[in-house]
């Protein structure tokens, strides 16, 4: 790995890159994935990870915001965005094949040299999609990453003995920072799958002695659907879920089936990971307690910041964070900085509350609130009881415009079995809603769909739900 990184470092120097020049990466899931990142980080080049599935206009928007000096891309990505290459100010390199990379190693380059830079210098530039259509730059410094990964490494007891099955995309915080960088820091072995496949994942875990898995909730749901023995995951010491809400029902079903208690954690691109359940005592539904050195509060309607004291529940409010892993601010969105960074905290836009044990519960996004006749309805508090109905695989609720009430609640339901009697299932759902929810919170309409629309990270895409309704 270090030899490959040194080869890449020499190439970056030959290209005339200076410390601080950004490098955009759209790499294949091959042996050079870690090496190229190490070379760029060692040369003090901020890394701009590119989602390899992005359309040309999306890639163009990120490159315009990041202005990298160099783009290194897998051949397919390189060819697909030919129009950008001719118009871009950056130099484009195509990622060499494994054979070409092996030839490069024969040159016996000098040892990898690390260019000194400040702790506050950006290590990576991640981008979040904004409502304006312009991606927001999130610079995370070397100090941000080191603080987060060191703390998580201690909490999760990561070591060189771990064997991680890497099944996530390597362009976002979860797959890149936790998966790749966390493994490099711990010096653990990584087995990389080209893309997630539930059956192949179940086969790989015993075959390669995998003891560490990171996934989004959808991945764990797909594993549950497989015809696998109860001890199929017996070798796992740690299975971590993140990037999207983990329903308590899924946590419980996975634990009953495989005996694995999923570790749930919470964070954002802007903050890194800020809470985690404890591996030795995880609980369903909660995202755990704040990491050591990180402060997490809930800003209630009264404007006060409430922490998780463990002496009683906090009011529900906006989750706010400050700590060593939080970005200093968006790189290209001053208005967003003014809105999100207030009173020394990053205001996440997520709703949450602390329970009597001091553990955080996330109830969804503030912008997902449904306002029915002036009363607030949080999707999560409706989805939770409905998802307990037998025969229901998943429920997502959202608001629909209403002439009298402003909005009403509608539910999108995936049946557990194909061809299920949806009329009978709807009757059961309505009975559950009548027993569990105030009248204004009860869904007026139920749509039965084959699957819930999601984005690449497994998060529910509520805007696309209506088009999937039948």
> pLDDT value at position 309?
78
The number of CA neighbours under 13 Å toward the Cβ of 360 is 32
**Is there a domain that residue 137 lies in?**
no
**Is there a domain that residue 294 lies in?**
yes
> pLDDT value at position 277?
97
83 and 162 together in one domain: no
User: What is the C-alpha to C-alpha distance for residues 361 and 179, in angstroms, rounded to an integer?
Assistant: 24
Is the pLDDT at 102 greater than 70? The verdict is no
Chain-wide mean pLDDT for the chain? 91
Which CATH number goes with the domain that contains 225?
3.40.50.12780
> pLDDT value at position 97?
66
Who contacts 265 (Cβ-Cβ below 8 Å, separation ≥6)?
240, 241, 242, 273, 275, 276, 277, 287, 288
> pLDDT value at position 470?
45
333 and 407 together in one domain: no
Q: In whole angstroms, how far apart are CA 19 and each of 42, 117, 332, 407?
A: 9, 8, 21, 53
The pLDDT tens digits for 248-281 are 889 999 999 999 999 999 999 999 999 999 999 8
DSSP string, 1-50: -HHHHHHHHHHHHHTT--TT--EEEE--SSTHHHHHHHHHHHTT--EEE-
The number of domains in the chain is 3
The phi, psi pair for 268, rounded to 5°, reads -135, 165
Among 332, 365, 398, give the residue marking a domain's end. Answer: 365
Q: Which residue has better confidence, 57 or 212?
A: 212
**Is there a domain that residue 392 lies in?**
yes
SS3 call for 398 = strand
Pairing assessment for the beta strands 406-415 and 445-448 based on DSSP bridges: parallel
Percent pLDDT > 70 in the chain is: 94
Going by pLDDT thresholds of 50, 70 and 90, the confidence category of residue 287 is very high
Tokens of 279: 């591996």
Residue 329: which domain range? 152-365
Q: Give the pTM.
A: 0.86
331 and 287 together in one domain: yes
> pLDDT value at position 281?
87
Which CATH number goes with the domain that contains 381?
3.30.300.30
**Is there a domain that residue 86 lies in?**
yes
Going by pLDDT thresholds of 50, 70 and 90, the confidence category of residue 131 is very low
51 and 18 together in one domain: yes
Among 334, 365, 396, give the residue marking a domain's end. Answer: 365
Tell which residue, 282, 205, 288, has the closest CA to residue 251: 282
Is the pLDDT at 402 greater than 90? The verdict is no
Please state, as a whole number, how many other Cβ atoms lie within 10 Å of the Cβ of residue 331. 18
Pairing assessment for the beta strands 23-26 and 47-49 based on DSSP bridges: parallel
326 and 179 together in one domain: yes
312 and 425 together in one domain: no
207 and 293 together in one domain: yes
361 and 375 together in one domain: no
Going by pLDDT thresholds of 50, 70 and 90, the confidence category of residue 34 is very high
Going by pLDDT thresholds of 50, 70 and 90, the confidence category of residue 13 is very high
**Is there a domain that residue 133 lies in?**
no
User: What is the C-alpha to C-alpha distance for residues 104 and 102, in angstroms, rounded to an integer?
Assistant: 5
The pLDDT tens digits for 327-383 are 999 998 899 999 999 999 999 999 999 999 999 999 888 888 888 987 888 888 899
Among 90, 117, 144, give the residue marking a domain's end. Answer: 117
> pLDDT value at position 10?
92
Percent pLDDT > 90 in the chain is: 69
177 and 257 together in one domain: yes
Rg (CA), the chain: 23
405 and 433 together in one domain: yes
Tell which residue, 101, 63, 97, 100, has the closest CA to residue 81: 63
**Is there a domain that residue 309 lies in?**
yes
9 and 41 together in one domain: yes
**Is there a domain that residue 269 lies in?**
yes
The phi, psi pair for 302, rounded to 5°, reads -80, 0
- Give the 3-state secondary structure of 114-166: CCCCCCCCEEEEEEECCCCCCCEEEEEEHHHHHHHHHHHHHHCCCCCCCEEEE
**Is there a domain that residue 138 lies in?**
no
360 and 415 together in one domain: no
Which CATH number goes with the domain that contains 79?
3.40.50.980
Length of the chain: 470
Is the pLDDT at 132 greater than 60? The verdict is no
């Amino acid at each position: 790995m270090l030899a490959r990184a040194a080869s890449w470092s020499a190439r970056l120097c030959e290209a005339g890159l200076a410390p601080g020049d950004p490098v955009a990466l759209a790499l294949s899931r091959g042996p050079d994935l870690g090496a190229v990142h190490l070379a760029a980080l060692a040369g003090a080049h901020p890394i701009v990870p590119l989602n390899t599935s992005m359309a040309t206009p999306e890639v163009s928007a990120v490159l315009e915001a990041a202005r990298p000096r160099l783009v290194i891309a897998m051949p397919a990505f390189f060819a697909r965005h030919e129009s950008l290459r001719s118009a871009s100010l950056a130099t484009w390199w195509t990622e060499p094949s494994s054979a070409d990379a092996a030839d490069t190693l024969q040159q016996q380059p000098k040892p990898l040299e690390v260019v000194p830079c400040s702790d506050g210098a950006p290590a990576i530039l991640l981008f979040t999609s904004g409502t304006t259509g312009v991606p927001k730059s999130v610079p995370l410094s070397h100090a941000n990453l080191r603080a987060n990964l060191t703390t998580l490494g201690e909490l999760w007891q990561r070591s060189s003995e771990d064997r991680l099955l890497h099944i996530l995309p390597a362009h976002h915080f979860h797959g890149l920072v936790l998966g790749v960088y966390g493994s490099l820091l711990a010096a653990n072995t990584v087995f990389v799958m080209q893309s997630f496949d539930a059956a192949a994942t179940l086969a790989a875990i015993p075959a390669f002695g995998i003891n560490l898995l990171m996934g989004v909730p959808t991945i764990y749901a797909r594993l549950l659907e497989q015809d696998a023995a109860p001890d199929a995951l017996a070798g796992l010491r740690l299975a971590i879920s993140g990037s999207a809400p983990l329903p308590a029902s899924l946590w419980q079903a996975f634990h009953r089936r495989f005996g694995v208690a999923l570790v749930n954690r919470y964070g954002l691109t802007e903050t890194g990971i800020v809470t985690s359940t404890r591996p030795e005592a995880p609980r369903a539904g909660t995202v755990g307690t704040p990491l050591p050195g990180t402060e997490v509060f809930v800003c209630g309607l009264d404007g006060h910041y409430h922490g998780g004291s463990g002496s009683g529940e906090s009011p529900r409010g906006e989750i706010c964070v400050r700590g060593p892993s939080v970005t200093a601010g968006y790189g290209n969105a001053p208005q967003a900085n003014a809105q999100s960074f207030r009173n020394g905290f990053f205001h996440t836009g997520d709703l949450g509350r602390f329970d009597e044990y001091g553990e955080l519960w996330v109830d969804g996004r503030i912008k997902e609130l449904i306002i029915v006749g002036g009363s607030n309805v949080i999707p999560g508090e409706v989805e939770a009881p409905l998802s307990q109905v037998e025969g229901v695989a998943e429920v997502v609720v959202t608001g629909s415009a209403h002439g009298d009430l402003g909005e009403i609640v509608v539910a999108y339901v995936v049946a557990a079995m194909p061809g299920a009697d949806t009329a009978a299932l709807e009757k059961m759902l309505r009975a559950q809603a009548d027993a569990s929810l105030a009248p204004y919170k009860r869904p007026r309409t139920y749509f039965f769909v084959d699957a819930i629309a999601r984005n690449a990270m497994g998060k529910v895409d509520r805007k696309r739900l209506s088009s999937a309704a039948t």
